[in-house]
Amino acid sequence: MTDPTDVPGAPAAAPASSGREGRGTTPRMRRRRAAVVLALVAAVLVAVVALVAGPGVVRNLATTVADGDASIELTSGDAKAVAPVPAGWAVTRLPWEGDRATLRSPDGVLELDLRLASDAGASTGLDPLAAAAGLAGAPAAVSSESLEDGMTWRHADVDASLLPKPDADPVVAFLAEGAAAAPGAFEQTASRIGVTARTARDRSFADYRTAVAQVLGGITIGAGA
């Protein structure tokens, strides 16, 4: 169809605007108001979605699954650590956190949070890890093991009594701190990697000790590139 105003010979129509203005608001104004409202609603929606789904989106976008045995590199100041990622494990690395990565077992039960620190003045031991994990305190009994590659690890299982929320899921099950140093020089070593292991509440960490040992046993710490 064509606009009747364009039909030759048709009588001239009254100016459209004069009639609409006569009713108080023009359609254009109503459309503008509607557009503003719609824009505001959309903005709120976007904000809500960003708040709710944003972290998940970022995390998922930052997560990759290792097709085969792989490794990741963490850096902090002059320090560099390389950690193995077994095939099938998921790695989450946020672009702005080069010193940190989270490894998750293929079944999703075990989560290893790795964080490299290079602060010579930082306190050593598992207390900072326990505090960061929200535990009521650090484990009292700590094991120390030195591996043939020069790494020394201090680690401890987390007793249920240290969990502030007994019904939390996943559960903080294990803390470890490693350094490329002999046991006697551990305290003086600036570069250390902290590990916090969490497991699904309904699963036993004991079943994953060997998996943890395999990952931690492959971690090396050296000078930054």
Partner 1 sequence: MSPAPGAPGRPRTVAPGRAASRLPRRAATALAMASALAVLLAGCAPATNPDWTPPQPTTGQAASIARPADGSPSAPQAAGTLDPASVPGLSPQRLQSQRAGIGARWTYLPGGNAHAATFNERLDAVVQSAIDDQRAHAGTPKYAPAAQPKGSGLGDRGCTSGASTRDAAAILGDPASAPQGAGGPVTALVCDVVVAGGTFFGERIRIVEGTPGAVTRDTATTIVTDTATGELVEGRALFTPDAAAGVYALAVAALRHEAGALWDVRLAPPSPAALDAVDRALDAAFIGPDGSLQLAVPGSIDAPELASLAGAAALAAQPSIRLSLPAGASSGFLTPFAQRLAAAAAAPYAGPADVAAAFDRVNCALVPCVALTFDDGPEADTTGRLLDTLAQHGAAASFFLVGRNVAAGADLIRREQAEGHTIGTHTWSHPMLTTLGTTQTPAPAPTPTGTPGPSGSPPPAPADHGPSAVMQEVTRAIDAVAAITGSRPVWFRPPYGDVNDSVLRDLARVGVPAIDWDVDTNDWQKPGTDAIVSAAATADAGSIILMHDIHATSVDAVPAVLDALADRGMVPVTLDHLFGGRVPAAGTVVRSAR
Q: Is 70 in the site for partner 1 (CB under 8 A)?
A: no
Q: Is 88 in the site for partner 1 (CB under 8 A)?
A: yes
Q: Is 224 in the site for partner 1 (CB under 8 A)?
A: no
Q: Is 3 in the site for partner 1 (CB under 8 A)?
A: yes
Query: From the list 10, 13, 53, 185, which residue makes contact with partner 1 (rule: CB under 8 A)?
Result: 53
**Backbone phi, then psi, for 45, in 5-degree steps?**
-60, -45
Q: How many CB atoms lie within 10 A of CB 198?
A: 22
> Secondary structure of the chain in the HEC alphabet?
CCCHHHCCCCCCCCCHHHHHHCCCCCHHHHHHHHHHHHHHHHHHHHHHHHHHHHHHHHHHHCEEECCCCEEEEEEECCEEEEEEECCCCEEECCCCCCCEEEEECCCCCEEEEEEEECCCCCCCCCHHHHHHCCCCCCCCCCEEEECCCCCEEEEEECCHHHCCCCCCCCEEEEEEEEECCCHHHCCCCCCEEEEEEEECCCCCHHHHHHHHHHHHHCCEEEECC
Considering only 34-42, 73-81, 119-127, 130-138, which stretch makes contact with partner 1 by CB under 8 A? Answer: 34-42
Task: Say how many residues touch partner 1, by CB under 8 A.
Answer: 64
Scan residues 159-198 and list those touching partner 1 (CB under 8 A): 183
Query: From the list 41, 82, 182, 223, which residue makes contact with partner 1 (rule: CB under 8 A)?
Result: 41
Considering only 2-10, 115-123, 126-134, 163-171, which stretch makes contact with partner 1 by CB under 8 A? Answer: 2-10
Q: Is 57 in the site for partner 1 (CB under 8 A)?
A: yes
Considering only 71-79, 119-127, 128-136, 207-215, which stretch makes contact with partner 1 by CB under 8 A? Answer: 207-215
CB of 82 to partner 1, least distance (A): 18
Query: What's the start-to-end Cα distance of the chain, in Å?
Result: 72
CB of 221 to partner 1, least distance (A): 17
Considering only 50-58, 124-132, 162-170, 184-192, which stretch makes contact with partner 1 by CB under 8 A? Answer: 50-58
The rounded distance, in Å, linking the Cα atoms of 42 and 140 is 53
Interface positions with partner 1 (CB under 8 A): 2-3, 6, 26-28, 31-32, 34-36, 38-39, 41-43, 45-46, 49-50, 52-57, 59-61, 63-65, 88, 90, 105-110, 139, 141-148, 153, 155-157, 183, 207-214, 216-217
